[in-house]
Every structure is written in structure tokens, then in C-alpha cells.
Amino acid sequence: MRGLTRAGKRASEMAFNAGGGTINWFPGHMAAASRAIRDRLKLADLVIEVRDARIPLSSANEDLQPVLAAKRRILALNKKDLANPNIMNMWVDHFQSCKQDCISLNAHSSNSINQLLGLVELKLREAILKEPTLLVMVVGVPNVGKSALINSIHRIANSRFPVNDKIKRATVGPLPGVTQDIAGYKAKSKGYAGARQYQPNQRGGGPNSGRGGA
């Protein structure tokens, strides 16, 4: 038994040392995206930070929190249909008690998107009076549903205000990292929520929650 334990320990050490280098979970495209996001944040009138409703803390991009805290921001807890509703509502109450606008949603639900757009309109009410074209930046770690959210906003906005332009859609997929750049998506030509969505794709306590992976 002692021999098997020593052999297992050696195998474990070999596995961790394989390749002779340190594992880097923060690839180059993510570092570049972080720098680009900071540049875009200067231009954004509103930031929608998308998180996973099941893990609202560990699905946050900690590197961007100091910058995002200084912006007009909405926390969108996506995939609420997969989350425990009682715990999720506790999280929403927690963020709102911290003076942070927060909404739980399902990016594939028209009702959820309409509620989000109503909150966006409320947050941008004064800014819209001064500037008809506003920039809304959508940020979040991979696989929280940013692209699905943008496409739903697209669909609803164009159903209300039809345009002749060909609609540009965000690519979606079940795996993280489908979109690895920052792209602009025109949501509508005028009105409440602004004209462009920026979707940077980044990798990445509270009530009854562990800090698991995103």
C-alpha cells in the first residue's frame, strides 16, 4: 500500500510538471481584450455586465470590477431558468442593497429582454435627451450568454423599428471562446436603448454559494 502511495505521488508530480512550464489560464487574446475593453469603456454610456445566475460572484470578471464600478452599469444575471430561484432572488436583493442595478433574466425569453430594455431606458433617460445615439457595452466572461443576449435585443428592437439594413448577428455556441474580439452590433436607429452593443468576449461569497468556475 505504501508503495502504491509513493507511485501515485510521483505520477501526480509528473503530471503537474509535464511540459516544464507554468500553466497560464489567461491567454494573450484575453489580455488584449481587457485592454481594449478599458478603451471602449471611456465611450460607453452604459455597461451591461452579464453573469451566470447560478454563480453570480465567480462568473464576474474580477480584473474589470474597479473600472466597471465607476460606470453606469446593470448586472444581468443570465440563465435564470437554470438557477435555484430562491438563491437567485437573494443575490438580486443583495446587489440591489449595494446600490447596484441588477436583473435576473433568460436571454432567450422576450419577456426577460423587454424587462432589461425597460431598465436600460430608465438608466439612460436623461442621456437620451442629449444624445439620440448611445453606446451600450455588453461584457462578461465566456459562456454566460452575451451573444444570445445581443441577438435577442437585435430581434426585439428590429421588430419594433424595422430597418432595411441586413442584420448582423453575434455568433453563439455551447463552448466558451466562440467570439474572441470586440464587435459592434446596431440594435436600432433611434430611441431608448442606444444604437450599438459592444460584446467583448473574455475568459475568465454570498448566500449558499461556492466560488466555482464560470
Q: Is the pTM of this model over 0.75?
A: no
170 vs 61: which has the higher pLDDT:
61
pLDDT tens digits for 182-205? 555 555 544 443 333 334 444 334
10 vs 213: which has the higher pLDDT:
10
84 vs 168: which has the higher pLDDT:
84
For residue 145, which of 104, 184, 111 has the smallest C-alpha distance? 104
Residue 143: CB partners within 8 Å, gap ≥ 6?
A: 52, 174, 175, 176, 214
For residue 81, which of 107, 119, 120 has the smallest C-alpha distance? 107
- Taken in order of first residue, the domains within the chain and their CATH numbers are 27-198 (3.40.50.300)
27 vs 207: which has the higher pLDDT:
27
Question: pLDDT at position 71, please?
Answer: 92
For residue 80, which of 96, 101, 104 has the smallest C-alpha distance? 104
pLDDT over 90, % of the chain:
41
Q: How confident is the model at residue 175 (pLDDT cuts 50, 70, 90)?
A: very low
Three-state SS string over the chain comes to CHHHHHHHHHHHHHHHHCCCCCCCCCCHHHHHHHHHHHHHHCCCCEEEEEEECCCCCCCCCHHHHHHHCCCCEEEEEECHHHCCHHHHHHHHHHHHHCCCCEEECCCCCHHHHHHHHHHHHHHCHHHHHHCCCCEEEEEECCCCCHHHHHHHHHHHHHHHCCCCCCCCCCCCCCCCCCCCCCCEEECCCCCCCCCEEECCECCCCCCCCCCCCC
Question: pLDDT at position 35, please?
Answer: 81
Q: How confident is the model at residue 176 (pLDDT cuts 50, 70, 90)?
A: very low
For residue 144, which of 60, 52, 55 has the smallest C-alpha distance? 52
pLDDT tens digits for 58-104? 999 888 899 899 999 999 999 999 999 999 999 999 999 999 999 99
Question: pLDDT at position 168, please?
Answer: 52
Q: Residue 120 to residues 22, 41, 99, 179: CA-CA distances in angstroms?
A: 43, 17, 16, 24
